[in-house]
Structure formats: structure tokens, C-alpha cells
Amino acid sequence: MAREILFEDQWLLAIDKPAGLVVHPTYKNVAGTLLDELRAREPGAALSVVGRLDKRTSGIVIIAKSAAVHAALQKTWPYADKDYLAVVEGRVDPERGEIDVPLGTDPADRRRRIVRADGAPSVTIFERLDYLSSAGVSLLRCRLVTGRRHQIRVHLAARGWPVVGDEVYGRPLDGFPRHALHAWRVALDHPGSGRRLRLEAALPKELGSLYPNSDTVAR
């Protein structure tokens, strides 16, 4: 498996997932997923993914190596720091803030999420790291307080700052076959030692080509 391993021990594994790779098998992707690759790497191991990333989102994926570790991580996962980098359309003002609006299923398309009064509480904290006036796009750091499906993408689009290349909640970008969202940093309590484990996945090249010097700005 030619995936970058960010961390590994007897308890868990952290992978830097590229955009375009599906994490879990689904009815549309019954094979060739990240989990399939990992199970082929460790046959017979009770591997399971903690948290999820969309197919077109890159970055950190945490894999538990046993059912007991998965259960332990599920309890602490809500308290982990999960930071994403996003390139969005427009200049984001204010420079930092919190988006606190409930999200639920779109009755017209169950694959989509929308803002709705009867939805689940959903909170995203954002900070503008930079604005590229020549392209009219901003680089944001987004921290998940809750972890709803498509949360960052829906929250940012609802504020008028859709993620660049997001064909579901924004618009596709010619020549850029993904949305510009990257699971950048995770800090969590290790299920064995209890110590804080801090991980970082470098920005992929295609995001660097979309937003020059983004790896320097995001420090």
C-alpha cells in the first residue's frame, strides 16, 4: 500500500488519504477503498475507521486496530481537535468566527445536507489565514466542534463562501477534480497512554497549485 503513514503503533494507524479515494465500501464502491487496502495489509485484523472523510476530501484518517480501541476512540473523538484547511470563494469577513446552525437531510436528495431548523446542532469555528485577491479566494482554518456529514462544506456555503471546486454545495472548477478541503491536523488522546497525540498531513500538491504559498501561510 503506497499510502503515507503518519503514525502507527499497536493501537492505531493514521493515514494521509489522497482525494479521490473512498474510505468505506459502499453500494457504489464495493471494492478498492482505503479500508480494503488496510485489510489486505493486515489480514484478519479488526480494523475500523474513526470518523470519515468524503471521497474528494484529502487528509488524516484514523484507523483503530481492534474493537476495544475503536470503542475507546469513539468516546474521546468528540473532544479531539480536528482542524481542516479550505480554499473558499470570496473574501471571508469577519476574519474569524463561529457558524452555529443546525444541519439535516435534504428531503429532495438524501445524499445532501442542508440548514434546517429541526436539524442536528452543528458548530464550526473558522479563521481566515489569508486572502488571495488575484483569484478572489480565501484560505481558511476550520475546526469541527461537532462532526456532521458534510458539515464544513454546508456551513461555509450557507455563509456565502462555498469551498472551491465543490460541485454539490458550490460549483465545479475546470481542471480541478476535487473540492479544496483538507483534513490538516488532529490532536487526540491516545487510547493506550492517554497522552495527547498530535498529527499533521501536509497540503497535497494540487491544493498548493490552486493556492500558492498555502503551505507557508498555514503555519
Query: Domain locations in the chain?
Result: 4-217
Q: Averaged over 89-113, what is the pLDDT?
A: 97
Residue 130 has pLDDT above 80, yes or no: yes
d(CA 188, CA 79): 7
Q: Please, are residues 206 and 106 in contact by the beta-carbon 8 Å criterion?
A: no
How confident is residue 29, by pLDDT bands cut at 50, 70 and 90? low
CB-based burial label for 125 (10 Å; 0-12, 13-18, 19+): middle
Q: Which of 25-39, 173-187, 204-218 has the lowest mean pLDDT?
A: 25-39
Structure confidence at residue 3 (pLDDT): 84
Mean pLDDT of the chain: 93
**Smallest Cα–Cα separation from 155: which of 210, 107, 84?**
84
Report CA-CA distances (Å) from 203 to 21, 108, 134, 169, 180: 16, 34, 21, 22, 10
Q: Please, are residues 196 and 187 in contact by the beta-carbon 8 Å criterion?
A: yes
Structure confidence at residue 163 (pLDDT): 98
The 3-class secondary structure across 124-145, one letter per residue, is EEEEEEEEECCCCEEEEEEEEC
pLDDT, tens only, 167-204: 999 999 999 999 999 999 999 999 999 999 999 999 99
Residue 21 has pLDDT above 70, yes or no: yes
Residue 27 has pLDDT above 60, yes or no: no
pTM of the model: 0.94
Residues serving a catalytic function are 54
Structure confidence at residue 209 (pLDDT): 87
CATH for 4-217, among 1.10.357.10, 3.30.2350.10, 3.40.50.1580, 1.10.1740.10?
Answer: 3.30.2350.10
Structure confidence at residue 214 (pLDDT): 79
